[in-house]
Structure 1
Amino acid sequence: MAAEVAPTGAVEPGPQVGRENPWSAVLWMVGALLSFSAMAIAGREISKELTTSQLMFYRSIIGFAMILIVALGTRRGLAQFRTRHLKTHLLRNLLHFVGQYGWFFAIVYIPLAEVFAIEFTSPLWVAILAPFVLGERFSALRGVGIVVGFAGILVITRPGLESVNQGTIAMVIGAIGFAASTLATKKLSGSETALTILFYMALIQAPIGLVLSLDGFAFPSTLVWAWLVVVTFFGLSAHFCLTRAYRLAEVTFVAPMDYLRLPLIALVGMLLYGEPVEIWLLIGGVLILAGNYLNLRARRNGR
């Protein structure tokens, strides 16, 4: 599924002891970058026929089937999905649904590069929320990073100079949803496996998508079914690759590679959809990435 954790892996664990392998991490990150790009393309193609709610519903159904197949092939089978944290799963997936809905909605209305640039503010929202939710210390360096990052949003959107697109608003809300769900994921990760978290994501989000899709419900065409499989598969593979990369190398080595998503999707948008890469997007994107870098340094230095 898309965006199972914060898009930039803000809370991913470090490498396992004795397992650090930076070059293998690079290969896994290439897989993640290509998967995220494939998701964006598939989501935009699906939007030509289905609403965002319908996309979310069908994606959850397909993802649920994929997860069951994988689980049945493991030693523990379906028993691994027993949980004592159903309320936390419910809260996490309500928040994640908001984030993912905003992401899929935004790719219809604004350039793909702008979607990804605003998505990268999610770790900044995590930095704001973490002291209240997880009790983490809020440092001056984190504060500077947040200010720089949000200056990037202002440069991209230029409120007052241009009308702010509904897709931009949706993606900002989506980034906040991703950040909040990331904190819930961190609470669950101590006791739940990644597959269990994915299982409850599909189980909880499918009925939400169905209820929101009832007005004008539609069945996908054969081509759109294919795109739905693509968006679901690459949503899973993106975060599997991302998780593997963070397990093989330090976060300070992996995170900057994740930022290559922005120029890559800008190239995809330009070649496939004729989307211009404006100077304001470039400047704003650099500021957002700089804010993330400062936040990462603060986290790494424990201050």
Structure 2
Amino acid sequence: MVFFCATMACLSGMIRYLSDEIPALEMVFFRNFFGLVFILPFVLSAGVATLKSKRLKMHGLRAIFGTAAMSCWFIGLTLLPLSEATALSFTVPLFTTLGAVLVLGEVVRIHRWAALVIGFFGALIIIRPGIEEIEVGALVVLASSFFIACALLTVKSLSRTDHPTAIVFYMGLFMTPLSLFGAVPVWVWPEPEHYPWLIAMGVFAASGQMGMTRAMKAADASVSMPFSFTNMVFASIIGYVFFAETVDLWTWVGACVIFLSTMYIVRREAKLNKKAKELALGA
């Protein structure tokens, strides 16, 4: 999980570095294209049989949500300090829980509802509406969190029937052409010195996702989740060293409030799932 957070922070730094030269939507395309190229050997080694799926429409829906999320995230990183964007990205589990209630009909008790409210209050601490002018970048990053949550809900459904390799492969296969539609209107041919960075974006993104998958497989989410806060630390260091960004106190406070509320939700869900399994075994 720490490896995943480090690679994601580095990826965010690359996006910020290239943002003055290459439009955000074009970077989304290159990230998907080179990410797909990078994972192909792993897909082939797993075997073509793992790619069989009867739910290509659901894979397509997941790609639409993923492209929207990535586009908003890349744009948000050009408008906000890395640390602030990262802090707001911690709202993803909040949107995921809310979506599970509204879309999947999952039952959420008062404790998790309270954690949701507190978590979104943490986002308000960072944005501080009424005290400071609401930045468009903050709203764009929150939109990214919403679309990521939608994508995660589709993955949750796909994981019941499809192999993880198929989910990763079809994500790249569908998101690459989808992101090209957004890139074409703003296309600027990269200079030769830009390509190593664009390739690195795809490699870092794909390897980071693989690292997260291994982390979630090796340990329960309630165990690996606490380490995700290192993303905030890495992003703050990169922002300070390379872009002279400083993190104000309220961003740290808001990030901690959001993170602690999501931690409570994750641990609560893990506890309930464990109890449900014990009851099932007892029956």
SS of the residue corresponding to residue 13 of structure 2 reads helix
1:48 aligns with 2:20: yes
Choose from 11, 36, 41 the match for 1:39: 11
Aligned partner of 2:86 in structure 1 is 116
Aligned partner of 1:266 in structure 2 is 236
Aligned partner of 1:95 in structure 2 is 65
Aligned partner of 2:33 in structure 1 is 61
* C-alpha RMSD of the superposition: 1.6
> By how many angstroms is 1:56 displaced?
1.4
Q: Which moved more, 1:43-52 or 1:64-73?
A: 64-73
Aligned partner of 1:223 in structure 2 is 193
1:206 aligns with 2:176: yes
> By how many angstroms is 1:111 displaced?
0.8
Contact 1:149/1:289 (<8 A) preserved: yes
Contact 1:139/1:298 (<8 A) preserved: no
Q: Which moved more, 1:94-103 or 1:197-206?
A: 197-206
Distance 1:219 1:278 in 2: 37
Gaps of 5+ in 1: 1-28
> By how many angstroms is 1:133 displaced?
2.6
- Cα offsets for 1:211-233 (capped at 9, x unmatched): 22222422222222111111111
> By how many angstroms is 1:35 displaced?
0.9
Aligned partner of 1:149 in structure 2 is 119
What does 1:1-303 correspond to in 2, within 5 Å?
A: 29-74=1-46, 76-77=47-48, 79-302=49-272
Contact 2:39/2:206 (<8 A) preserved: no
- Cα offsets for 1:128-177 (capped at 9, x unmatched): 11023333211111111111111111111111221111211110000000
Distance 1:52 1:140 in 2: 40
Q: How many residues align?
A: 273
> Whose helix proportion is higher, 1 or 2?
2
Distance 1:205 1:234 in 2: 17
Distance 1:37 1:247 in 2: 22
SS of the residue corresponding to residue 302 of structure 1 reads helix
Q: Which moved more, 1:96-105 or 1:171-180?
A: 96-105
Q: Percent identity?
A: 27
Distance 2:138 2:102 in 1: 27
> By how many angstroms is 1:299 displaced?
0.8
Distance 1:256 1:276 in 2: 24
Extract structure 1 runs of 4+ deviating beyond 3 A. Answer: none
Contact 1:130/1:183 (<8 A) preserved: yes
Distance 1:216 1:255 in 2: 37
Q: 1:224 to 1:195 in 2, by over 3 A?
A: farther
Contact 2:86/2:232 (<8 A) preserved: yes
**TM-score by structure 2 length?**
0.91
Contact 2:2/2:230 (<8 A) preserved: no
**TM-score by structure 1 length?**
0.85
